[in-house]
Every structure is written in C-alpha cells, then in structure tokens.
Amino acid sequence: MESKHPKDSKTTMTDLVLPSETNAIHTLFGGELLARMDRAASIAAERHSGEIVVTASVNHVAFKHAVPLGSIVTVAAKVTRAFKSSMEVYIDVWVDDKKTETSVKVNEAIFTFVAVDGHGVPVSIPQLVPETKEEIQRFEGALRRKQLSLVLAGKMKAQEATELKALFS
C-alpha cells in the first residue's frame, strides 16, 4: 500500500449561513457547524483511505467566534496522521470578512475516523507522509492526542503512553 500526503485528502467546502441554520441571536447553530465539519472530514478520510469511513470520535472542537447569519463559511479538512485503520482529521473553519476582504479563522476541530469494509470491519489504510511545517507539527501531535484519548477512555494505561510521558520527563 503506497503512502499518501495530507494534500491528497484536502477537502474544502464553502457555503452560506441561512436563516434556518441560526439560533435566536442569528448566529450559526454549533450543531450545524459540527455537521458541516463532519461531512468535510469524512470526505478527507475517504480520500486518504479509499474506503468507507465512520466517525469514531470528536476529539476537540474550539468555537472561537460566532458565525453570523449570511456569512460565507469555508470548512477545510485534511488527514493529519494515519494509524492502522484509524486516522486523525484536522478541520479549520474560516469566515469571509466582507469589510477587509480576508478570511478569519473562527473554529477548528480534530475528528478521528476508522476505515471499514462493507460489513463495518476495520481495514488497513495507507500511511501518511507530512510535507509542510504545519503538517509535521500536526502529525507529531496526533500520536500524543491519540494516547491521551485512549488513557482517558481507559483503553490504555498511563504508563504505556510513551509520547505523553516524554512531555513530562
């Protein structure tokens, strides 16, 4: 199985925030944004793995700024690390600022997906080779994030989390 690069999985989705997607103060519902992020991230995971993927976990979500009604929202996702059958996908969310004609980062998230066959059984996926400085940083951090999630879920003993221990020694 040939390795892939993060750019191979890059997925970008752009859409408007409509009235039916907003709350009483006319900002995008958090759940609506999560759904958009999940769709973009699942496409990125499928592009990397070439397989059916399922969302295994939402590891991190940071709602930094509200997204107002009428905003143009761009969700960008790409795989940051591949393990045996699972992969971490990092999602950045941007809103166009009409006054400055720039994009402002308003949210970010990290999801984990598992590649499965038609019966839902996990399957092996290609490894990932990061290229840019940001991709390398996210790749290196992914193992620490995975170990932390496994320790917190009780699926790994803290003393086995070598990457986490290295941070404190």
Residue 169 in this model has a pLDDT that exceeds 70: no
Q: d(Cα 19, Cα 50) in Å, to the nearest integer?
A: 36
Q: How far apart are CA 64 and CA 68, in angstroms?
A: 13
For the domain with range 6-129, which CATH number is right: 3.10.129.10, 1.20.1270.30, 3.40.50.2300, 3.40.50.720?
3.10.129.10
pLDDT, tens digit (0-9, with 9 covering 90-100), for 32-64: 999 999 999 999 999 999 999 999 999 999 999
**pLDDT exceeds cutoff 70 at 133:** yes
Q: Are the C-beta atoms of 75 and 96 separated by less than 8 Å?
A: no
Domain boundaries, the chain: 6-129
| 72 close to 16: Cβ distance less than 8 angstroms | yes
* pLDDT (0 to 100) of residue 16: 96
Query: Pick from 20, 123, 17, 19: which is nearest to 65 by CA?
Result: 17
pTM of the predicted model as reported, rounded to 2 decimal places: 0.91
